[in-house]
Structure 1
């Protein structure tokens, strides 16, 4: 007679972070087919997904624990069911605040943000920050309403010092000229008025140069020839050969200031050319106007594009940043507004473009510390849609900070500010950039994915990048060598998540970084277990150990939840039969321990029977101290905790 075997196939898909699981799965059809081919046509097959289904069954009966809520919440979280995840995590931190731990506050905040609950997310994230001290996510935390965190993250990257040519008047608008600088000052006018950065400034500023030639070495002298007038000159930009100078001047006609219809003296950009060592041929640019201002020129590295500020028609705010083509024949194209990503309804002004195509500008429309702040954005290939970043303190302050320039070879530069500790109305400050600002930063992430036990390279594993809003940014699969390559935004925090059929999902968080390439190798635990008779259901369900108190055989309250998980599984699979094996520690007489373990096994199945499980589906056996799981045998000195590990129950699958 052929013995009939009932093989139970259990496929348990656990999405782990640490040692907790989170996502359920179904029996893979190919796996079913292989089992069917191997087994008798009378084999019974089960598709067993314990995570969400069984835990919900347990909760519906009123049994709850912190561990259960953690695992259920993670089940929803890793399956992108953020609504149910948020509900579960809220219950966890409300009912088990001391057991929740910072990780669950973090995930709860993320789910709330995904659901658009920004204010509540911010409150929960604040708790996460309070609970952590060295977690990168706490350092880079931000949300849509907390721009100060962004500024904080960008601060501390500059060593700021004095500018030796400041006076008790105003100095601002430094620009590189030859090996020195040109800047604007009212030091010869006796006018102490502050804040030159307005469209209507009427005090008389002039352009000065330092260290640009033998005449200006170690002192500030006026730019010679016809550049300066009795009116206002400021903000300049020169070509690399020093032969062309663009600068800002009051609208002037026949040597006199010209006002518009409302009495405002507008600003215009002029171009001067040096020939035989003399500045001359001064012309105003064709897109100037008597009805709006055009000011603050800046040249691209190739000198084919001129950037400037204006309130001309088409401006979004009080002043916008524009660009215009500089043609080879000396003519100009049509001015183009840089768009709403850069320009706001307020003031954007004082542009400067670096050799690495970073546009710096001042604004009081983007979130800042107060007044005008300096911002930066990448504009490579004339793409103006990149992120706009506040450069942070100490360059920015609660006052107006503007006219920022930097040499990207030396990382040295200058800016102006009207902060109260200055020497004059506006002062120029020098700085050294010690850490580059991360703008549209792309970081290469490479690595392999392997089986944790066999070290076998896993081909076809899915590798995803998930942002802090739980949105999938990109994904790839491992190649024939188990390798992957990704490029992610290193100025933001990201999760790199690896999944593969038959394995536990693994994830690593990457905080914002300096963009250096990083290698991350993943070693995945298997999550598919084919169980025959004699296997322990507790391992498949990831149960906590069913513990008993010393010299007791009644089930402890903290173990009832674990037994309920077994009951839920048996409710779902009516033909599932279980043998409960109970064990004791080595303390006490051997015969007594054997009796005690049998009583514990019987107590366990009696509990299950009291909850509706048929007595025909459960049996029990006590093993006393015959199967210890550690060294704590008779005569060995062990702690109470070590002894407790031996006081346990197992749930063995039966025919």
Structure 2
């Protein structure tokens, strides 16, 4: 049984219940438990065998080779126990304990006998967030492994997961997630929270007094302030079954019918199915198994979720007709709450790997569920997809810290806006799921676009919100008369705004990470766009030179950086950079000086990465004054001369 579905055996198998065996028996008992997929029990016996061989005391001491056959067999036995113990830990997802045992197998030179050891060692390193080390191990595995292609596919997928996880940890989503500090979490697994009319229910494998052992049961937590109470169902026992357990509840809109997973052992077979019980006379009735539309004979069906209108039941099953493994399915419900059909959600949602824990927001047509089949941080990750016109969008990873390098499942909002929600994760545990509270910290980034010349609001500007790392366009709007734009910021990744309007220079600006925040909105200072016309000069104010020289002053370079930005943001424009002088000096001298000054500007702009094919220098000397150099009475006009000593640029061509 997989830990992630219900974590059945981890706490049900208590060490005091194990009988005492001699050292010679422990390997055999471990092999038997491993064959039966009781990995927790297998790890217990293999660990006893390792202790008997002194492996737990000398992990750092390499095996000593010997020509004697007897010693060789002992070394082989040690390697076998180490590998089996590592596999047992990994298969119940205790990666911390598994990692050093795989390392031991590799360090002692047994990779040829256990060629998958390096693959699983890399997986353990990924799960414990040692991403760079994991990538090295996995790459070494892919370069040397000559076996089945499916293991190479696993390794390549894990490498992709590591790279994705590294970026997610560097740029997390704007969510705070932490283990809920209350009596909801216990020494067992706690998971799958639901909320109805202000009250909560969840699943827990804590010690149950009535059963006198750790066992999965559904608990009611009232409004969240009371001690969780176990849910008792009427007359729910059969003499032919054992280890009866319940989990993953869901309630109909009226709150008087509970759908849940019920599983039990009948002989050596464990059966999972979805059942219902009704609230009658202040008690829950005897559970009844849903019909064959949901529960296919011989297959497992688990994790029900009833939509808010009570018309559909989402669930997980490995029955025929899916994409492979556990898939998400949906059934329409009749007026009395019984399934009348069943359909697989298809290849857009399901993969050849396992999917788990569906939640569907009927208002927004949003599905949240867990999968191992898509790019993620490792293990089960939570994904979201929207149903648009009957088609599901590509599932989107919900990112770190909603997801982690371990397993993350069972999304459930705590309020209508989704500002607080619950998830279940084993990120803080070696064995078990915990209930985590998560708070959405995303905000709205908003501002106004104006005309640089008159400072008036500018309508009909196309504003694009762009992920500056991936260059992905996240959203695009066109301003109305208010000239306001607004975008949701959901992660700590860097973003850009691109603003475009015909007759104006396009502008690309970074989205600030802090500033004037009011409530959940970050207000950006007004952004202005500069209008232009082809062949119409625009003065670059205060570009200064040393007297009688073409040497640019440092402050002039700062001003020219603005033109560099314009040319970067508008890659199709071709520009003339012009310099002008006043009338002091000869015509020839002024023409030469202005050309040298224009060239100095162009040389600087080219040095900032602008192609020399997009800009050229032109000196006009004193031939194009925009103000009188002298007054009508013949006196000098300093103000006019200042205006004439100018630097301009103009767009001479726009490439199609």
Q: TM-score, normalised by structure 1?
A: 0.50
